[in-house]
Structures are given as structure tokens and as C-alpha cells.
Amino acid sequence: MDRAEEPGDGPLVRFHNLFPGCRPPQRAARDGNGTIPIRAYRHCEALCSAAAFGWHVFPPMDFQLVWDGGTSVQWTHEGAEGWYPLDTAQFPHFASRFDAGAPEDIGGFSPPFLANFTEPGIVQIWTGLVARTAPGWNLLLRPPANVPRDLGYEHFEGVVETDRWFGPLFFNVRLTRTDIPVPFKAGFPLMQVQPVRRATLTDAVLDDFAVETGVESLSPEDWDRFRATVVKPNTDPDRRLGAYAAETRKARRREERGG
């Protein structure tokens, strides 16, 4: 396989955290950052696998946003003297550090930490991260999987071709509450970053599907699989809870060992 199919030398993704001291990305946990109910954690492999797929990215600090329902957004953070109108805002003390460390021709191009869009209630948040992936791999930016979300905002999702495009990992949110502070906590994941092969995003792949209608569309082989998946477990008096989860984990370990 070529590098577009396998990570090869070096990591699949390399994150550069430009805000020193802020919480770095971490592997997403199967327990959904400690929020998945214990019964689901023990027995629902599908839910846990989704929760663990990728890396959690956190806000670089605690901050709050307030939206007036129109085009005005204000923000504040710990240690601030009050609320500030938001157009664009730099991460505290970062612009000068960026200029001091960047090549001369890049000085002054420090990405903003926050930006208020012209569309009402939409704010762009920079995580402080820049990322690069192996050739043929992109990053899907999405809400944390199976983690409860603050009802004060909604996430936008995006796919970034980080093997070609090297820039700040922004995340866009739409504020949904007005005149009430919406908090963002540095200890709670803001988004989940997941690796996807660029080939899976092509029309050739995504148009390659079929839909068949009616029970009669199932073949004898399909019925055999349905019988093994649904009928057999539900007619077994000694059925063990979480059997699918246990079998899936065993199969995954065998595949990882190459067996």
C-alpha cells in the first residue's frame, strides 16, 4: 500500500499547538469524556467506538460569549476587566509572541482567536492548533461524538485537506441563546477531529451505492446474516449481555495483530 492508504513514516497527523500551556489535543476516550452511561459503556460497542474515533480538541482557555440576537456579540474571559465587543480578537499576549517567533515576512499575520461573522450569531474560534496529515488524509472537524453539548450553541462541521492546506484549525459555531452568557470551558472538548481518507470523499465512492426495496429484496445470504445477528441471540436463554461488543473487540485485536 502507498502512503495515501497507510500512515507510513511519522504520525498520521501532527498537531502544532501554538498556545503554549494550553491543553493539547488528546485521543478521544471510549467513555465520551466520562459522560457515557455505564451500561452503554459496557455493552454498546457502536457508541463507544464512535466516541473514541479521533482526537478531542479543547478551547485554549475559559471564555464566554453573549449574542444580542442581531449582529452584535460580546466576549469576556477570566482576568478581563469586563465585556468586550467582538469583531476579531487575538488570544491574550499571543500576537507579539507570534511576531517574535515568525519569519519577518509572516509577522503581523497572527490568526485571530475569535471572529464575529457578518451572519448573525456565527463565531469562529481558533483552537491554537495547526495540523498536517499524511498524504491522502484529511481531517473531519465535528462536535464531540456522544458527548452532551451546551444548548447555547450549535457546531458547524468541516473537512479540511490538511495534507495540502497548512493553516489554523478553526471551528465555527452558531449561537442559539440571546442575552445570556454562553460558556466555553478549557477542560471540556470543543470538537472532535477525525482522520478520513480523501478518496472516500470523491463522487466515485459516494455515488457507489444501491437501495433495494421490500423484504423480498433480501437474499438467502442476507437472511442467514439476519438470523445470526438478531434471531439467534434473542432465542438463546444463556445469551450474554454485550456479546456483540466482546466479539467486536476480539476481532479488532486480531486485525491489529495481523491475524
Which amino acid makes up residue 102? A
* 170 in Cβ contact with 124 (< 8 Å): yes
pLDDT of res. 26: 96
pLDDT of res. 8: 57
- 163-219 pLDDT, tens per residue? 999 999 999 999 999 999 999 999 999 999 999 999 999 999 999 999 999 999 999
Q: Cα dihedral angle (17, 22, 25, 28), rounded to 10 degrees?
A: -170
pLDDT over 60 at 236, yes or no: yes
- 45-86 pLDDT, tens per residue? 888 999 999 999 999 999 999 999 999 999 999 889 999 999
pLDDT of res. 245: 59
Looking at CATH, the fold of the domain delimited by 13-205 is given as Deoxyuridine 5'-Triphosphate Nucleotidohydrolase; Chain A (2.70.40)
Rounded CA-CA distance 97/95 in Å is 5
- 112-164 pLDDT, tens per residue? 999 999 999 999 999 999 999 999 999 999 999 999 888 999 999 999 999 99
* 177 in Cβ contact with 201 (< 8 Å): no
Q: What is the pTM (predicted TM-score) of this model?
A: 0.85
Report the half-sphere exposure of 154 (CA within 13 A, side-chain side). Answer: 6
Question: Which strand (E) or helix (H) includes residue 94?
Answer: helix 94-101
Cβ contacts of 131 within 8 Å, gap of 6 or more: 13, 14, 15, 16, 139, 160, 162, 169, 193
Question: Which strand (E) or helix (H) includes residue 49?
Answer: helix 45-52
pLDDT over 60 at 1, yes or no: no
Tell the residue number behind the cell numbers 519577518, with chain if given.
104
Percent of the chain with pLDDT over 70: 90
pLDDT of res. 250: 67
Q: Which of 81, 92, 88, 82 is nearest to 22 (CA)?
A: 92
**Residue 223, all three cell numbers:** 437472511
Residue 174 DSSP one-character state: E
Domain boundaries, given as residue ranges, for the chain:
13-205, 210-257
Please state the rounded mean pLDDT for residues 236-245.
Answer: 66
